[in-house]
Structure 1
Amino acid sequence: MKKLLSIIFLGGLVFACKQESMLDVQSDPQIYQFKEISSIALGGLGASEISAYDPSTKKLFVVNNSSVNKIDVIDYANPASPKLITSILMAPYGGFVNSVAVANGKLAAAIEATNKQANGKCVIFNTVDLSEIKQVTVGALPDMVTFSPDGNIIMTANEGEPSDDYTVDPEGSISIISINAGYAVKTLNFAGFEPYAAILKAKGFRVFGKGATLTKDVEPEYITISADSKTAWVTLQENNGIAKVDLNTQNITDVFPLGFKDYSTLNNAFDFSDKDSKVLFSSYAKIKGIYMPDAIAVYEKGGIPYLFTANEGDAREYSAFAEIKRVKDIKLDYNNFVTGDALKLEPALGRLNITTTLGDTDGDGDFDELYSLGGRSMSVWNGLTGKQVFDTDNEIDHRSILAGLYDDARSDDKGSEPEGIAVGKIGSRMYAFVGCERTDAVMIYDITIPTLPLYKMTLKTGDAPEGIIFIPAEKSPNGLPLLVVSSENDGVVKAFSPIQ
């Protein structure tokens, strides 16, 4: 398939991106654009985080942790006119509800304990009458819940965050709930990988908390499951890795270190300062990004599961342990950073937030390399080997700028901050939808060729999109594909539909 190379001049920087040729467009009429069809406000900060849709009852379930921890239930029979029906209160079950998922008339909710370091719960409700079906104890701080495509398994990613004083650091874990076995649960930890910690770290995996062991330091974040319901992949965000889980044997079989992003190349040039009074992209040697993906989705083609990740980045910041400093506040090795103190000025790299847990390669107290958190991108990984096969480089920030949505105040941190992701098929083509928390947007990519995603368009969302779900036409209430985006800062849920 022929591609054209589009050259964009932006702020004095040449931006190259691959686009479909006119021949490709003319031979495939299914080239879609999307438009907003509805918006519903559920409150303020924290009022709209993760959503799940039930096709049997045409209800949308939305995590709402604003003034009261609850799940809002919305009538979505007409997605152009959603209506709040009722709410399921979480007080009887614990603390915050972090995630919801739906399958076969069941709603699963991941609920943390009031003491975040204690084991949490996965509570299953009937989507028709909202009655409780089952409570299942899972690991500490269940942050995400999902069903297998066949609806027989529920999984939770249990983050296991430490207490603020780091005196209690529960194991990060993954819980597998077998519905057909009476909701029997098996919770997996990472103790089996403890002997390989040094090998994993050498390849870019992070074990770095206060007094950390790999078993306690691992923090599972998000899950995706293969179409045949036999394999799951779980992002380990703070650790910069992905775990692979065999659902037949219920064992963690692999941990893939994700390595680092090289910010010395033109394609990875970014704006690294929020105090330079402009958006100016630059590249620097000895500066790297830690991918640290949040959401993950799988699309299988040609016998290969391709994993799509939103490379948000996340720092550990506790009273007893905080990893972040700005470049202006650290000591540089001037043998590696030859321009010396000029780099520490605010319009250069002085404002850039970096981790202090990496970069002092010779142990002499100064930094030989700099590592910022997040990749500011979407990546594609081979789910069998963990090898990266594609990265959007700096395109997401560029597209945010072109759309007039880029937030320069976040240049020193994670840029557009890709966080959520979903994939789905429309007609004969596959798409990835990437939610960008700081630019309040969703970027749409055509991933029909998974090793060469092609940017399609940018959608303006609510403030800080958190949950991204795609409802295929065959499950949609109006027979059309839907993209539903829930935003945590303003409590707004928006629906988008494609137009041809």
Structure 2
Amino acid sequence: MPFLDSAAPPTTLRTLGAALLAAAVLTACGGSDDEPTPRTLTMEKIGSYNGGKPGAAEITAYDAASKRLFVVNGANGTVDVLDLSTPSSPKLAGTISVAALGAGVNSVAIHDGLVALAIEASPKTSPGTIAFYNAGDLKLVNSVKVGAQPDMLTFTPDGRSVLVANEGEPNSYGLADSIDPEGSVSVITVNRGGTPTVASADFRAFNGQEAALRAQGIRIYGPGASAAQDFEPEYIALSEDGRTAYVTLQENNAVAIVDVATAKVTSIKPLGTKNHNLAGMGLDASDEDGVVNSNTGTPAVKIGPQPVKGMYLPDAIARFTVDGTAYLITANEGDARADWPGFNEETRVRAHCTAGLDPTVFGDAANLILDSNLGRLRITANPNGGSAGKNAAGQCNELYTFGARSFSIWDTNLVRVYDSGDEFEKNTQALPNGRFNASNDNNTLDSRSPAKGPEPEGVVVGRFGNKTYAFIGLERVGGVMVYDVSKPSAASFVTYLNTRSNDSGDLGPEGLALIPADKSPNNKPLLIVGNEVSGTTAILQINLGY
């Protein structure tokens, strides 16, 4: 369980925005002004549960009263219920099957003993289901229908409502059986003891505005898709009062703002792009960069500025406050529409730029396009609504890659305050238990360098005393990065724990859940990590030094 700790220098040139995190109120994530403020924070793995197969551990949620951990088992389409009363040795206490309600579970959330499950239909383009269960006896309480492909869901802080991101992915584009359902955010009034009611925040008001939205930098590019069809809600962060939701539209490189009381999308904010050509904002762009200016190179670690733009395309989002000002944090994973028939936006620089790079834009264009430089980098062929990023001669004059290999902090208007730059790659370049930019299903050096690098996916925040920390999971190389975000414009690296062991151990962190000390079974703050590829649930203890 290697552990990297550093008083890493604060990132320069990382100023620009502020914001973060999701789900429960900050007090539910630990911390108050009455608590002492730690001088140090470290993590250690104290327990684990092996689901027995890939996909057996994805999203997790904890119920303090029953000391049970609910783990989405994507391999079986069920939820494993673990007894976490002894965190060092969690044990299977039960299983929730949803076979009578849908194809499988995508996400789980809990509030005061009530468990909410997001259940996908078969086919996935049909309306999904949100089902409510008692945490203690695992009995079904009731269920309601929502939009297609319900994914992340979260309770409002008062527990009266549940918000659900209905992703609404298509099954294909342009084929005889193609269906592209609309994305939406369902707002469910729980009505404990009664029947839940559902309102839908949809995107139909933006239909007909596609050109104007694209001009703002909001990606709308699915073939033949309206704005409502193209927007695919991914993850939700709530304000402390539960009145406003911030919803990532991952493929669209945007965030929707939802008024919860009226279930209405009030605005959509573009996130822009990251300039990877600035100092401290670079990346390793190739897995064949061991030979200079070559198409037949070998892997090497080469992190540096590159003349490409990174589309943030965030997955998880979280919210926190500092001195009364709210911020959002995004895990800038990146995602391409490449998983279904009829359309694939993902390509590589050399394959896409067959006429070469525009020499008026790219210095040393003839060498930059080689595989040892940018040639292997995965980019989009459809930056926004059909533009290929080429000049009249067919030469590429813009290169847009997926994700930013970082986390960002934004203000609530989605103006960027901070970005972690290239620190994730730099802090993982010399791991003793995994090779640089290895993926979650191999231990191959440089494997992910042409494609999203460490790939940050999950993020949660916790407050201890007057310090606020962000915990960011890296889906590919694995492990959890911790940053002190108490000064949002100057966040600083604290520590990193990676519990993979080359091509075994904990692989593919998917979901993170923070259990504060006052709700923890061992009275210590815990971070629960669902590792999708290895099917393992890791229990990490957060150790605070005073």
TM-score (norm 1): 0.92
Which position in structure 2 is the counterpart of 1:344? 369
Post-superposition offset of 1:362: 4.9
Match of 1:481 in 2: 525
User: What CA distance in whole angstroms lies between the structure 2 residues aligned with 1:497 and 1:316?
Assistant: 37
Q: Are residue 284 (structure 1) and residue 343 (structure 2) matched?
A: no
Secondary structure, counterpart of 2:128 in structure 1: strand
The alignment of Structure 1 onto Structure 2 pairs a total of residues equal to: 480
Contact 2:8 2:494 in 1 (8 A): no
| 1:42-441 equivalent positions in 2, closer than 5 A | 42-66=51-75, 68-166=76-174, 167-180=178-191, 182-276=195-289, 277-285=299-307, 287-317=308-338, 318-331=340-353, 332-358=357-383, 359-360=388-389, 362=391, 365-383=394-412, 385-404=413-432, 405=434, 406-407=436-437, 408-441=446-479
Query: AA paired with 1:206?
Result: R
Match of 1:23 in 2: none
Contact kept, 8 Å, 1:203 with 1:258, in 2: the verdict is no
TM-aligned CA deviation for residue 378 of structure 1:
0.3
Q: What is the CA–CA distance in structure 2 between the aligned matches of 1:47 and 1:224, rounded to whole Å?
A: 25
Report the AA paired with residue 424 of structure 2: I
Helix, strand or coil at the partner of 2:205: helix
Q: CA deviation at 1:382?
A: 0.8
Q: CA deviation at 1:17?
A: 9.9
User: Deviation digits for residues 321-359 of structure 1, max 9, x if unmatched?
Assistant: 000111111223333234233222111111000000125
Please, which runs of 5 or more residues in structure 2 have no aligned partner?
1-5, 15-35, 290-298, 438-445, 500-505
Deviation at 1:195, TM superposition (A): 4.5
User: 1:155, 1:174 within 8 Å by CA — same for their partners in 2?
Assistant: yes
Matches of 1:424 and 1:403, distance apart in 2: 26
Partner of 1:469: 513
Contact 2:287 2:447 in 1 (8 A): yes
| Offset of residue 268 of structure 1 | 1.0
- Sort the Cα spacing of 1:481 and 1:344 in 2 relative to 1 into closer, same or farther, 3 A: same
Q: Secondary structure at the match of 1:192?
A: helix
Identity of aligned residues (%): 41
1:202-251, CA deviations, whole angstroms, 9 ceiling, x for partnerless residues?
A: 23210011112111000000011112111111100000011111112221
Could you say what secondary structure the match of 2:366 adopts? helix
Q: Indicate the SS of the match to 1:111.
A: strand
Task: Return the alpha-carbon distance in structure 2 between the equivalents of residues 422 and 130 of structure 1.
Answer: 26
Q: Check conservation: 1:468, 1:485, Cα contact below 8 A.
A: yes
TM-score, structure 2 as length reference: 0.84
Q: Would the aligned equivalents of 1:5 and 1:16 in 2 still touch at CA under 8 Å?
A: no
Distance 1:6 1:148, change over 3 A: closer
For residues 391 and 165 of structure 2, what CA distance do their matches in structure 1 show? Answer: 36
Structure 1 unmatched ranges of 5 or more: 9-14, 19-26
Most deviating of 85-94 and 346-355: 85-94
Does the Cα contact within 8 Å between 1:237 and 1:292 map onto a contact in 2? yes
| Alpha-carbon spacing, 1:149–1:397, altered in 2? closer, same or farther (3 Å) | same
SS of residue matched to 1:267: coil
Q: Name the SS for the 1:200 alignment partner.
A: helix
Amino acid at match of 1:230: R
Q: Give the C-alpha shift of residue 460 in structure 1.
A: 1.1
AA matched with 2:43:
F
Check conservation: 1:425, 1:472, Cα contact below 8 A: no
Secondary structure (helix, strand or coil) at the match of 2:396 reads: coil
Counterpart of 2:295 in structure 1 is none
Q: Does structure 2 conserve the Cα–Cα contact (< 8 Å) formed by 1:483 and 1:495? A: yes
Contact 1:121 1:135 in 2 (8 A): yes
Please tell me the root mean square deviation across aligned C-alpha atoms, in Å.
2.1
Whether the aligned pair in 1 keeps the contact of 2:277 and 2:306 (CA below 8 Å) is yes
For residue 177 of structure 1, report the CA deviation from its aligned partner.
0.1
Cα displacement (A) at 1:263 = 1.2
- d(CA) in 1 for partners of 2:390, 2:489: 33
Q: Secondary structure at the match of 2:372?
A: helix
Paired residues of 1:76 and 1:83 also in contact (CA < 8 A): yes
Deviation, structure 1 residue 7: 6.3
1:451 partner SS = helix
| C-alpha separation in 2, matches of 1:200 and 1:17 | 29
Q: Counting strand residues as a fraction of each chain, which structure ranks higher?
A: 1
- Contact 1:110/1:121 (<8 A) preserved: yes
Cα deviation, 1:125-173, whole Å, max 9, x if unaligned, reads 1111111111110100011111111111111101100113452100011
Structure 1 residue corresponding to 2:42, chosen from 29, 33, 42 = 33
Distance in 1 of aligned mates of 2:396 and 2:457: 29
Task: Give the equivalent residue in structure 1 for 2:23.
Answer: none
2:17 is matched with which residue? none
Choose between structure 1 and 2 for higher RCO, CA contacts under 8 A separated by at least 6 residues.
Answer: 2
- Corresponding letter in the other structure for 1:248: A
Q: For the Cα contact (< 8 Å) 2:248–2:314, is it kept in 1? A: yes
Query: How many angstroms does 1:29 deviate by?
Result: 4.6
SS of corresponding position for 1:316: coil
